[in-house]
């Protein structure tokens, strides 16, 4: 099956990235010690530092996440998301004692228009 191209216009743009856990399972549900929150922040923070990505907003829910970020090109996005999905998948499966894969599919990336109204709408 062919994969959708990851298009980032020349000069970069703001993108909305989402991904969902397999079968919508609540594998990232926060626990009493909030260890999953530390795992998510650690993995995303390291990826941000390694690949110099500007993050505007991120929301991690029990079964999926949303990231609003500025990507300079498709390679930067691929490296950043490879780090986030790969390492977060390993850590979440370890934390949830889940023996299978964590993500149901590849992440979805949607370029957001340069218009302020469009970016605010996407942020909401």
Domain count, the chain: 1
> Is the residue at 6 inside a domain?
no
pLDDT at residue 4 above 70?
no
Cα–Cα separations (whole angstroms), residue 7 to 63, 71, 78, 99: 26, 10, 11, 33
Look up the CATH number of the domain holding residue 59: 3.30.70.1290
Residue ranges making up the domain that contains 33: 13-123
For 5-60, what is each residue's pLDDT tens digit?
Answer: 678 888 899 999 999 999 888 888 887 667 888 999 999 999 999 999 999 999 98
**Three-state secondary structure call for residue 110:** strand
Give the containing element (helix H, strand E) for 17.
Answer: strand 13-20
> Is the residue at 5 inside a domain?
no
Q: Could you give the CA distance from residue 25 to residue 59 in angstroms, rounded to a whole number?
A: 16
The answer to whether the CB of 95 falls within 8 A of the CB of 60 is: no
Q: Where are the alpha helices (DSSP H) in the chain?
A: 35-51, 74-96, 116-123
């Amino acid at each position: 099956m062919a994969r959708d191209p990851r298009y980032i216009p020349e000069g970069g743009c703001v993108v909305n990235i989402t991904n969902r856990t397999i079968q919508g399972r609540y594998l990232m549900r926060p626990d009493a010690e909030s260890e999953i929150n530390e795992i998510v922040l650690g993995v995303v923070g390291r990826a941000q530092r390694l690949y110099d990505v500007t993050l505007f907003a991120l929301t991690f829910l029990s079964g999926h996440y949303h990231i609003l970020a500025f990507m300079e090109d498709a390679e930067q996005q691929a490296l950043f998301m490879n780090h986030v999905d790969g390492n977060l998948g390993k850590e979440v499966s370890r934390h949830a004692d889940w023996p299978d894969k964590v993500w149901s599919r590849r992440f979805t990336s949607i370029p957001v228009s340069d218009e302020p109204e469009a970016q605010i709408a996407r942020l909401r």
